[in-house]
Structure 1
């Protein structure tokens, strides 16, 4: 399909994460796009563990990444959607009219109603705050990472390696790295042991206090608690009236259009995307980036085919010297094959570099 086959549209993209930014860049080749996001720079969520450990750097400015496209970056937050009137209301008082809306507000930390979590735990999104608190501590103390999934594992290993004077604990409701193959789980455990990370499994957090998390099995002391338990979609989609699933993710068709409002495309963590033979895609960069690229091409007229996707690998950073590359089936189920150590680390670094190149 020719990119010049349709007249220019007013497109508003909400969110400048992996999905929103790539959708805006694709659509902005021949259409006027307003990209709404309060950040000056991309957050680069898959490297937040490095930021928390004091090893991150300033990621590229959004303005630099969209240069050369018909994109205006408006630094604001969407607070209301008028889907019938094709309008977006922003927190700076601006109202934007659109022909097509791309909803890519992604996800945020899920606190699960745990008492004290909001007050006494620090979410992954505020990785720079974690870095500051560690740097300002009068002496090394004890740090608890709540969450035994990929984010929690990457945080715990990175922090333990960067700050060997700190006592790092990882607290998981189930098994740490439970989604990975037996070989993958065994390697993760070896790395945690090597770095001196204390592992607390099957320890559901029931409360967070200034002295650390409490679990059904008892309290776990921590001077600093970092929350990496899980994520939830931004609530604006449901509040505005888009059809959503039980988790609040917008239901979309095979062209990533809202099933209730087809003039709204939903991509990334905000979307419940079901692919035949694969299932409903999980949240994460691995699924968000191709969704954004697809919608960008669709709006630019460079494709008309339904969205397709297959999983290939999952990867983990385990500090600066180690990593895990887990091969998976197309439906994201685990294969027995893993690559670890230097091979796993280089594979993860390569994938992260590809992501940043795609954004550029």
Structure 2
């Protein structure tokens, strides 16, 4: 079957958008389907490694056109600034170009939200991209000569990885991790205890159970008014998504994520498929949260589903279960918490050198998967959730 008039537009060239586009190209080869990938930068960002750039490390430079070479995918460098779901068009860079689509794959992802706490947007750094991370690395090089203080705001896995990476790279700096929740709270007791011993060994000071109410040029203010001096503040807590879908009238939830059905299609516009951080995906055990671990399976599923729909075949509901929580603790240590499908911890965990090798395999796997997916269907799904995902969501 050929579809010479069918145009698929993929918005976003992150982990999910890249995998979905490349897998779609392989699944629809020789059918005449056209695929266009839109992304503001021609550089592929390895979000799993932003904390390494923040600590001053040089990473491999992957360019999207090179990763797409041989797939037949058209790459458009630009920002998607408007969607008209009725006319099925996407406006690029405010009107410099307009793309018509038959199927839209929405993979715009998310970024760290600095809007909720006064001063965070103007006085804190983020890991929202390689340029932002590199600016923070430059700030660290400025303050290390006088033994400055670094404050990492947020005790999620991103904050933990950033704090430990900085502490290991710059032992002369004072590194604080401030969080309203206990770092590693989602882990089991044994893995969390190991994480805390490692942070203590690296000299990371942890303050949990407190809330940051303001970020100043040289300090952060805690609830109660206490000022904590900070020469460089890194903000890693809170998530926001692009308002593009909601502004277009596509049904979204209270956070702006596209509301999807069991096949990851928009409940208001079925020709729009949403994946990764951009989609509100609810399974029987609950709603998945935005991680590469869950994002890549949504990309794989959406690509396969679109290919099946184009052939007139039935699509089964999306199934997924979490498997692990990999956390690097600098370059020479790590801890891997294995989990149940709903991301609650199992008893098993991995630590030390074996965990370092495991984490590096995880971090390097997406780019390898892109290259392999040009030639074969590579599975990104470690777990489909077992019995927990065999029944539909409530």
TM-score by length of 1: 0.95
State how far apart, in whole Å, the 1-side matches of 2:267 and 2:72 are: 28
How far did 1:7 drift?
A: 5.1
How far did 1:88 drift?
A: 0.5
Counterpart of 1:322?
333
Counterpart of 2:230?
222
How far did 1:112 drift?
A: 4.7
- Structural mapping, 1:75-90, within 5 Å: 75-90=77-92
Counterpart of 2:376?
none
Matched, 1:271 2:282: no
Counterpart of 2:198?
191
How far did 1:355 drift?
A: 2.2
CA displacement, residues 203-225 of structure 1 (integer Å, 9 cap, x when unaligned)? 11100001121111411111000
State how far apart, in whole Å, the 1-side matches of 2:4 and 2:267 are: 24
Counterpart of 2:137?
131
SS in 2 for 1:122: coil
State how far apart, in whole Å, the 2-side matches of 1:359 and 1:191 are: 34
How far did 1:305 drift?
A: 2.6
Please tell me whether the aligned partners of residues 171 and 203 of structure 1 are also in contact (alpha carbons under 8 angstroms). yes
How far did 1:178 drift?
A: 1.2
How far did 1:150 drift?
A: 0.3
Matched, 1:33 2:39: no
Counterpart of 1:14?
11
The 1:297–1:5 alpha-carbon spacing in structure 2 relative to 1, beyond 3 Å, is farther
Among 41, 45, 48, the residue aligned to 2:47: 45
How far did 1:286 drift?
A: 0.5
Please tell me whether the aligned partners of residues 47 and 56 of structure 1 are also in contact (alpha carbons under 8 angstroms). no
Counterpart of 2:63?
61
Please tell me whether the aligned partners of residues 18 and 359 of structure 1 are also in contact (alpha carbons under 8 angstroms). no
CA displacement, residues 289-323 of structure 1 (integer Å, 9 cap, x when unaligned)? 11112212222338833221111111101111111
State how far apart, in whole Å, the 2-side matches of 1:235 and 1:191 are: 39
State how far apart, in whole Å, the 2-side matches of 1:215 and 1:336 are: 35
State how far apart, in whole Å, the 2-side matches of 1:72 and 1:216 are: 50
**Structure 1, 175-184 or 319-328: larger mean CA deviation:** 175-184
Please tell me whether the aligned partners of residues 168 and 202 of structure 2 are also in contact (alpha carbons under 8 angstroms). yes
How far did 1:187 drift?
A: 1.2
Please tell me whether the aligned partners of residues 259 and 280 of structure 2 are also in contact (alpha carbons under 8 angstroms). yes
Counterpart of 2:216?
209
Counterpart of 1:251?
259
How far did 1:240 drift?
A: 1.2
Counterpart of 1:334?
345
Matched, 1:346 2:354: no
RMSD: 1.6
Where structure 1 has 5 or more consecutive residues not aligned to the other structure, the ranges are none
State how far apart, in whole Å, the 2-side matches of 1:189 and 1:256 are: 38
Matched, 1:293 2:300: yes
Counterpart of 1:177?
184
SS in 2 for 1:55: coil
Among 104, 107, 114, the residue aligned to 2:107: 104
SS in 2 for 1:12: strand
SS in 1 for 2:13: coil
**Structure 1, 258-267 or 299-308: larger mean CA deviation:** 299-308
Counterpart of 2:382?
none
Counterpart of 1:283?
290
SS in 1 for 2:229: coil
Among 246, 257, 281, the residue aligned to 1:238: 246
